[in-house]
Amino acid sequence: MYLSIILLFFIVGTIFGSFYNVVGYRVPKGESLIYPPSHCPKCNHKLTPLELIPIFSFLFLGGKCKSCKDKISLFYPIFEFASGVLFALSYVVFGFSLDCLLSIVFISMLLIIIISDYQTMTIPDSVLIIFSLMIIVIKFFIVGVNGVGVSLLNSLIAFVFMFLLKLFGDFLFKRESMGGGDIKLMAVFGLMFGYKMAIVSVFISAVIGLPISLLLLKNNPSHEIPFGPFLAIAAILIVLLKLDFNSIINLLTI
Protein backbone atom coordinates (compact mmCIF):
# COMPACT_ATOMS: atom_id res chain seq x y z
CA MET A 1 0.00 0.00 0.00
CA TYR A 2 2.84 2.39 0.94
CA LEU A 3 4.65 1.80 -2.36
CA SER A 4 1.38 2.20 -4.27
CA ILE A 5 0.85 5.64 -2.73
CA ILE A 6 4.43 6.63 -3.54
CA LEU A 7 3.86 5.55 -7.15
CA LEU A 8 0.62 7.54 -7.25
CA PHE A 9 2.40 10.68 -6.04
CA PHE A 10 5.10 10.09 -8.66
CA ILE A 11 2.57 9.76 -11.49
CA VAL A 12 0.69 12.88 -10.37
CA GLY A 13 4.02 14.70 -10.12
CA THR A 14 4.97 13.84 -13.70
CA ILE A 15 1.61 15.12 -14.93
CA PHE A 16 1.94 18.39 -13.05
CA GLY A 17 5.58 18.63 -14.12
CA SER A 18 4.52 18.50 -17.77
CA PHE A 19 2.04 21.32 -17.09
CA TYR A 20 4.57 23.39 -15.11
CA ASN A 21 6.89 23.26 -18.08
CA VAL A 22 4.20 25.01 -20.13
CA VAL A 23 3.47 27.50 -17.34
CA GLY A 24 7.13 28.37 -16.84
CA TYR A 25 7.64 28.94 -20.56
CA ARG A 26 4.43 30.79 -21.46
CA VAL A 27 3.51 32.93 -18.44
CA PRO A 28 6.65 35.15 -18.54
CA LYS A 29 5.87 35.83 -22.22
CA GLY A 30 2.25 36.73 -21.47
CA GLU A 31 1.00 33.80 -23.55
CA SER A 32 -2.16 31.80 -22.90
CA LEU A 33 -1.85 28.45 -21.14
CA ILE A 34 -4.69 27.09 -23.27
CA TYR A 35 -4.11 28.43 -26.78
CA PRO A 36 -2.32 27.44 -28.86
CA PRO A 37 -2.47 23.84 -27.59
CA SER A 38 0.77 21.90 -27.14
CA HIS A 39 2.51 21.49 -30.46
CA CYS A 40 5.84 20.72 -32.10
CA PRO A 41 7.88 23.95 -32.16
CA LYS A 42 9.27 23.09 -35.62
CA CYS A 43 6.29 21.91 -37.68
CA ASN A 44 3.43 23.10 -35.37
CA HIS A 45 1.96 19.58 -35.30
CA LYS A 46 -0.77 19.57 -32.63
CA LEU A 47 0.05 16.93 -30.05
CA THR A 48 -2.58 14.26 -29.49
CA PRO A 49 -3.47 12.98 -25.99
CA LEU A 50 -1.26 9.92 -26.58
CA GLU A 51 1.66 12.25 -27.33
CA LEU A 52 1.18 14.14 -24.07
CA ILE A 53 1.68 11.28 -21.63
CA PRO A 54 4.63 12.31 -19.43
CA ILE A 55 7.85 10.34 -20.04
CA PHE A 56 6.15 7.45 -21.86
CA SER A 57 5.22 9.52 -24.92
CA PHE A 58 8.87 10.49 -25.34
CA LEU A 59 9.93 6.84 -25.14
CA PHE A 60 7.11 5.62 -27.39
CA LEU A 61 7.94 8.22 -30.06
CA GLY A 62 11.64 7.46 -29.85
CA GLY A 63 12.38 11.04 -28.84
CA LYS A 64 11.12 12.41 -32.17
CA CYS A 65 8.10 14.37 -33.38
CA LYS A 66 5.50 12.04 -34.89
CA SER A 67 4.99 14.40 -37.81
CA CYS A 68 8.33 15.94 -38.84
CA LYS A 69 10.64 13.52 -36.99
CA ASP A 70 12.53 16.42 -35.41
CA LYS A 71 14.25 15.45 -32.17
CA ILE A 72 12.40 16.22 -28.93
CA SER A 73 14.59 17.71 -26.24
CA LEU A 74 15.61 15.22 -23.56
CA PHE A 75 14.94 17.98 -21.06
CA TYR A 76 11.17 17.32 -21.13
CA PRO A 77 11.16 13.72 -19.83
CA ILE A 78 13.97 14.52 -17.37
CA PHE A 79 11.99 17.44 -15.94
CA GLU A 80 8.81 15.35 -15.75
CA PHE A 81 10.68 12.53 -14.01
CA ALA A 82 12.27 14.97 -11.54
CA SER A 83 8.86 16.47 -10.78
CA GLY A 84 7.46 13.01 -10.09
CA VAL A 85 10.37 12.17 -7.79
CA LEU A 86 9.95 15.42 -5.84
CA PHE A 87 6.21 14.83 -5.35
CA ALA A 88 6.91 11.28 -4.19
CA LEU A 89 9.66 12.46 -1.82
CA SER A 90 7.27 14.99 -0.29
CA TYR A 91 5.00 12.10 0.68
CA VAL A 92 7.91 9.97 1.92
CA VAL A 93 9.24 12.81 4.10
CA PHE A 94 5.98 14.26 5.44
CA GLY A 95 3.44 11.48 5.03
CA PHE A 96 -0.16 12.17 4.12
CA SER A 97 -0.46 15.54 5.87
CA LEU A 98 -0.84 19.28 5.44
CA ASP A 99 2.95 19.53 5.62
CA CYS A 100 3.11 17.26 2.57
CA LEU A 101 0.63 19.50 0.74
CA LEU A 102 2.66 22.56 1.73
CA SER A 103 5.83 20.93 0.44
CA ILE A 104 4.20 20.02 -2.89
CA VAL A 105 2.77 23.52 -3.38
CA PHE A 106 6.12 25.14 -2.58
CA ILE A 107 8.07 22.74 -4.80
CA SER A 108 5.55 23.29 -7.59
CA MET A 109 6.31 27.00 -7.50
CA LEU A 110 10.04 26.30 -7.58
CA LEU A 111 9.70 23.97 -10.58
CA ILE A 112 7.91 26.70 -12.53
CA ILE A 113 10.57 29.22 -11.52
CA ILE A 114 13.39 26.95 -12.68
CA ILE A 115 11.79 26.83 -16.14
CA SER A 116 10.81 30.50 -16.35
CA ASP A 117 14.10 31.93 -15.07
CA TYR A 118 16.21 29.59 -17.18
CA GLN A 119 14.20 30.14 -20.36
CA THR A 120 13.36 33.85 -20.06
CA MET A 121 15.51 35.23 -17.20
CA THR A 122 12.23 36.16 -15.50
CA ILE A 123 10.42 35.11 -12.33
CA PRO A 124 6.75 36.05 -12.91
CA ASP A 125 5.08 38.07 -10.14
CA SER A 126 1.82 36.22 -10.80
CA VAL A 127 3.43 32.88 -9.94
CA LEU A 128 4.94 34.24 -6.72
CA ILE A 129 1.66 35.87 -5.64
CA ILE A 130 -0.58 32.88 -6.36
CA PHE A 131 1.67 30.36 -4.62
CA SER A 132 2.35 32.71 -1.70
CA LEU A 133 -1.39 32.96 -1.06
CA MET A 134 -1.68 29.16 -1.23
CA ILE A 135 1.20 28.80 1.25
CA ILE A 136 -0.43 31.30 3.64
CA VAL A 137 -3.75 29.43 3.54
CA ILE A 138 -2.14 26.05 4.22
CA LYS A 139 0.05 27.52 6.97
CA PHE A 140 -3.05 28.97 8.61
CA PHE A 141 -4.40 25.46 9.12
CA ILE A 142 -1.03 24.25 10.41
CA VAL A 143 0.16 27.05 12.72
CA GLY A 144 -2.88 29.34 13.11
CA VAL A 145 -3.19 33.11 12.86
CA ASN A 146 -0.21 33.90 15.10
CA GLY A 147 2.01 31.50 13.19
CA VAL A 148 1.03 33.11 9.89
CA GLY A 149 1.83 36.52 11.36
CA VAL A 150 5.32 35.33 12.32
CA SER A 151 5.78 33.88 8.84
CA LEU A 152 4.83 37.20 7.24
CA LEU A 153 7.37 39.00 9.44
CA ASN A 154 10.01 36.47 8.40
CA SER A 155 9.06 37.13 4.79
CA LEU A 156 9.65 40.86 5.22
CA ILE A 157 13.03 40.35 6.90
CA ALA A 158 14.17 37.97 4.14
CA PHE A 159 13.05 40.45 1.48
CA VAL A 160 14.98 43.31 3.09
CA PHE A 161 18.10 41.13 3.43
CA MET A 162 18.02 40.18 -0.25
CA PHE A 163 17.39 43.79 -1.28
CA LEU A 164 20.41 44.98 0.72
CA LEU A 165 22.49 42.14 -0.74
CA LYS A 166 21.49 43.30 -4.22
CA LEU A 167 22.55 46.88 -3.44
CA PHE A 168 25.92 45.61 -2.19
CA GLY A 169 26.34 43.43 -5.28
CA ASP A 170 25.45 46.31 -7.60
CA PHE A 171 28.05 48.49 -5.87
CA LEU A 172 30.71 45.77 -5.89
CA PHE A 173 30.32 44.70 -9.53
CA LYS A 174 29.25 48.08 -10.91
CA ARG A 175 26.27 46.43 -12.61
CA GLU A 176 22.96 44.83 -11.71
CA SER A 177 23.92 41.82 -9.60
CA MET A 178 20.48 40.17 -9.40
CA GLY A 179 16.96 40.69 -10.63
CA GLY A 180 13.93 41.85 -8.73
CA GLY A 181 12.42 38.38 -9.04
CA ASP A 182 15.19 36.89 -6.88
CA ILE A 183 14.44 39.44 -4.16
CA LYS A 184 10.71 38.66 -4.23
CA LEU A 185 11.46 34.94 -4.25
CA MET A 186 13.46 35.40 -1.06
CA ALA A 187 10.32 36.84 0.55
CA VAL A 188 8.50 33.59 -0.25
CA PHE A 189 11.39 31.63 1.26
CA GLY A 190 11.03 33.65 4.47
CA LEU A 191 7.32 32.89 4.45
CA MET A 192 7.97 29.20 3.96
CA PHE A 193 10.79 28.39 6.37
CA GLY A 194 11.83 31.60 8.19
CA TYR A 195 14.29 34.37 7.45
CA LYS A 196 17.29 32.53 8.92
CA MET A 197 17.00 29.57 6.56
CA ALA A 198 16.08 31.94 3.73
CA ILE A 199 19.46 33.61 4.23
CA VAL A 200 21.17 30.20 4.46
CA SER A 201 19.54 29.26 1.15
CA VAL A 202 21.47 32.06 -0.56
CA PHE A 203 24.77 30.55 0.56
CA ILE A 204 23.70 27.01 -0.36
CA SER A 205 22.63 28.19 -3.81
CA ALA A 206 25.96 30.00 -4.24
CA VAL A 207 27.85 26.78 -3.43
CA ILE A 208 25.71 24.88 -5.96
CA GLY A 209 25.80 27.58 -8.60
CA LEU A 210 29.45 28.68 -8.48
CA PRO A 211 31.07 25.64 -10.18
CA ILE A 212 28.25 25.43 -12.75
CA SER A 213 28.50 29.16 -13.49
CA LEU A 214 32.27 29.02 -13.87
CA LEU A 215 31.95 26.14 -16.33
CA LEU A 216 29.32 27.95 -18.39
CA LEU A 217 31.25 31.22 -18.36
CA LYS A 218 34.40 29.43 -19.45
CA ASN A 219 32.66 28.28 -22.62
CA ASN A 220 30.76 31.53 -23.11
CA PRO A 221 32.03 34.56 -21.10
CA SER A 222 29.09 36.74 -22.19
CA HIS A 223 26.46 34.21 -21.09
CA GLU A 224 23.97 35.54 -18.51
CA ILE A 225 23.28 33.01 -15.78
CA PRO A 226 19.99 33.22 -13.84
CA PHE A 227 20.28 32.81 -10.07
CA GLY A 228 16.67 31.69 -9.53
CA PRO A 229 17.19 28.00 -10.44
CA PHE A 230 20.04 27.71 -7.92
CA LEU A 231 17.90 29.34 -5.22
CA ALA A 232 15.11 26.90 -6.10
CA ILE A 233 17.38 23.86 -5.80
CA ALA A 234 18.67 25.10 -2.43
CA ALA A 235 15.11 25.60 -1.18
CA ILE A 236 14.09 22.10 -2.30
CA LEU A 237 17.00 20.62 -0.35
CA ILE A 238 16.05 22.63 2.74
CA VAL A 239 12.44 21.45 2.65
CA LEU A 240 12.98 17.77 1.86
CA LEU A 241 15.99 17.37 4.18
CA LYS A 242 14.12 19.27 6.91
CA LEU A 243 17.11 21.51 7.48
CA ASP A 244 16.86 24.17 10.18
CA PHE A 245 19.19 26.90 11.33
CA ASN A 246 20.34 25.12 14.49
CA SER A 247 21.22 21.92 12.61
CA ILE A 248 23.28 23.97 10.13
CA ILE A 249 25.15 25.72 12.96
CA ASN A 250 25.80 22.41 14.73
CA LEU A 251 27.11 20.91 11.50
CA LEU A 252 29.50 23.83 10.96
CA THR A 253 30.83 23.68 14.52
CA ILE A 254 31.66 19.95 14.49
pLDDT for 220 equals: 66
pLDDT for 223 equals: 62
Q: What is the 3-state secondary structure of 174-225?
A: CCCCCCHHHHHHHHHHHHHHCHHHHHHHHHHHHHHHHHHHHHHHHHCCCCCC
pTM: 0.92
pLDDT for 226 equals: 83
CA distance 38 to 20: 13
Cβ(26)–Cβ(32) below 8 Å: yes
Q: What does the pLDDT profile of the chain (254 residues) look like in tens digits?
A: 789 999 999 999 999 999 999 999 899 888 888 777 777 777 777 877 777 889 988 888 888 877 787 787 888 999 999 999 999 999 999 999 999 999 999 999 999 999 999 888 899 999 999 999 999 999 999 999 999 999 999 999 999 998 998 888 777 767 766 778 889 999 999 999 999 999 999 999 989 988 887 777 676 666 677 888 999 999 999 999 998 877 777 777 76
pLDDT for 222 equals: 61
Angle formed by the axes of helices 228-240 and 75-94, nearest 10°? 30
